[in-house]
Amino acid sequence: MKLKQISIFLENRKGRLWKALHILGQAKINIRALSIADTSEFGILRMIVPDPENAKKILEESNFVVKINDVIAVGVPDEPGGLDGILGVLNEADINVEYLYAFAEKQMEKAIVVLRTEDIDAGLKALEGAGVTVLSPEEVYSL
């Protein structure tokens, strides 16, 4: 199952990351997972939040550029080599990974990996076909 991710354009300027996160904090939006892609000139803040449409709306009110797109969330064993298996599946299926970020969840003893493959549907199919635990949005949000 696909998961919605929000991406925010950040100008490479002091205080912009804080501003975006401050807005979400004020709106009581809990961030489930986060990563930042940074280049010398701009940054892209990517996040998994429970209600992406609402978060987008709130950020846009403060003039942020926000995009929502699909990613895949999978659970991997929180142990050495956990990610290896997942990437092996995708490599086997010749699927290119654009980016990924992971966070460990102690209670589940699993790590959650957020994946963005070039072709989301193909990535999902390959992972599910190989028996990898793909998490539903509800499962991710309830962590």
Partner 1 sequence: MIWNKEAECMSAEEKEDLQLKRLQEVVKRAYENVDYYKKRFDEVKVLPEDIKTLDDIKKLPFTTKTDLRDAYPFGMFAVPSDDIIEVHTTSGTTGKPTVSGYTQKDINIWSEVMARSLTMAGGGKKDLIQNCYGYGLFTGGMGVHYGAQKIGATVIPISAGNTQRQIEIMEDFGSTIITCTPSYALYLAEVLQKQGITSEKINLKAGVFGAEMWTEEMREEIEKRLNLSALNIYGLTEIIGPGVAQECLEKNGLHIFDDHFYPEIVDPKTLKRLPDGEQGELVLTTLTREGMPVIRFRTRDITVLRKGRCDCGRTLVKMDRITGRSDDMLKVRGVIVFPSQIERALLKIEGLDPHYQIIVTRPHQLDELEVQVEASDILFSDEVKHVEEVKNNIEDYIQAEIGLRVNVSLVEPQSLPRSEGKAVRVIDKRKL
For residue 8, count CB atoms less than 10 angstroms from its CB and return exposed for 0-12, middle for 13-18, buried for 19 or more: buried
Whether 61 contacts 33, CB under 8 Å: no
Quote the least distance from Cβ 120 to partner 1, whole Å: 11
Q: Rounded to whole angstroms, how far apart are CA atoms 88 and 2?
A: 20
DSSP state for residue 136 in the 8-state scheme: P
Which one, 37 or 102, has the nearer CB to partner 1? Answer: 37
Dihedrals phi, psi of 83, to nearest 5 degrees: -75, -25
Query: Quick one: which of 3, 49, 64, 75 contacts partner 1 (CB under 8 A)?
Result: 64
Fill in the DSSP letter of residue 32: S
Contact pattern for partner 1 over residues 120 through 139, marking x by CB under 8 A:
--------------------
98 to 117: interface string for partner 1, x by CB under 8 A = xx----------------x-
Tell me the C-alpha distance between 74 and 105, whole Å: 12
Cα gap 95→23, rounded to integer Å = 36
Q: Does 63 participate in binding partner 1 (rule CB under 8 A)?
A: yes
Scanning 59-67, 76-84, 103-111, 133-141 for contacts with partner 1 by CB under 8 A, the matching segment is: 59-67
Binding part of the chain for partner 1, among 22-30, 37-45, 104-112, 135-143 by CB under 8 A, reads 37-45
**Interacting residue ranges for partner 1, rule: CB under 8 A:** 5, 7, 9-11, 16, 37, 39, 41-42, 44, 46, 63-65, 67, 69, 98-99, 116
